[in-house]
Amino acid sequence: MRTLRLGTRRSQLAVTQSTLVAEMLRAQGHIVELVEIVSDGDRTQASNTPLTSANSTGVFVSALRDALHAKEIDLAVHSLKDLPTYPEEGIELVAILPREDPRDVIVARDGLTLGELPPGSRVGTGSPRRVAQIKALGLGLELAGIRGNVDTRISKVRSGEFDAVVLARAGLARIDRLDEVTEVLDPIQVLPAPGQGALAVECREGDADADVRKILTSLDDASTRAAVEAERAVLATLEGGCAAPIGTLADVVEGEEGPELWVRAVALSLDGSLSVRLSASGPIDDAVGVGRRLAEEMLAEGAADLTDDPADPGQAVMDTGGSPQAAPEQDKVHNA
């Protein structure tokens, strides 16, 4: 029987996620070997070098894809939110696993929630999406860039360097660290990243790997795939004409004629003072179309103009002032 070589990054979360996939395959009777791959993102994270440019998209993905192309591994597991929306020649996204809770969470000192943190509290996040949405809440918090694994980030709260950090709930759930969470953020306040909470499995295209693809397709979850395809269509369409931070979340809900998709999305200026926020619904079998049309409507409403420093879109992550923000009077809130 063929041994399936599963590529994984070396971090605790990556290995845990890859092991989850390996165990699902082993339960079907397959032999699976984990192969550790080091990415440029891992190297810069180890040296605490910030990821602030648009070119950082996919930085944790490219090494695994290179290993697939080189036939060093047969499949790779990614956090779906790390995958670029454009296709990679010769690589197929063959399975998307059932999704964990996609929401963001707060890990704060003294068990505090985001709203309980005093103005001027230092909150760590490396995400412009989180920075913009938290600034839009007008809490007067100081947002500062942070990198490192879960232990590193939480330790900065314990040491007093930060009053709180923002993390993805899904990652903490997978490594059994939910007891660290002091608040789960409502998507009404902070929409997650497209694909957050979902795991993606990639393999090579082509007849030579048809047997691997056939094995992996059994792991695919149709409802999760529809939701994340809609979210990624929103992102892909907005990226074509918009450099603003973007959050989006799609849910499968019960409509008048059966299950359908409900998609919410927001694009914001880097300082959170302006935003375009919309929602849409549509059939599950047209997930990409639902997401694309929603994003096109957002662009028509001005999403392409949402930036407060077009020359340096990543700077807001590392150099964000903590002055209180007034409620965004120009916010275009529609049916979301």
Catalytic residues: 82
Token pair, residue 32, equals: 């699976």
Task: Retrieve residue 119's tokens.
Answer: 């103005």
CA distance 10 to 13: 8
| Tokens coding 36 | 């550790």
How far apart are the C-alpha atoms of 166 and 156, rounded to whole Å?
12
3-state secondary structure of 62: helix
The three-state secondary structure class of 167 is strand
Which is nearest to 212 in space by CA: 32, 336, 334, 66? 32
Cα separation, 196 vs 227, whole angstroms: 11
Residue recorded with tokens 């047209």:
286
Q: For residue 199, give the amino acid letter.
A: L
Q: Is 174 exposed, middle or buried (0-12, 13-18, 19+ CB in 10 A)?
A: buried
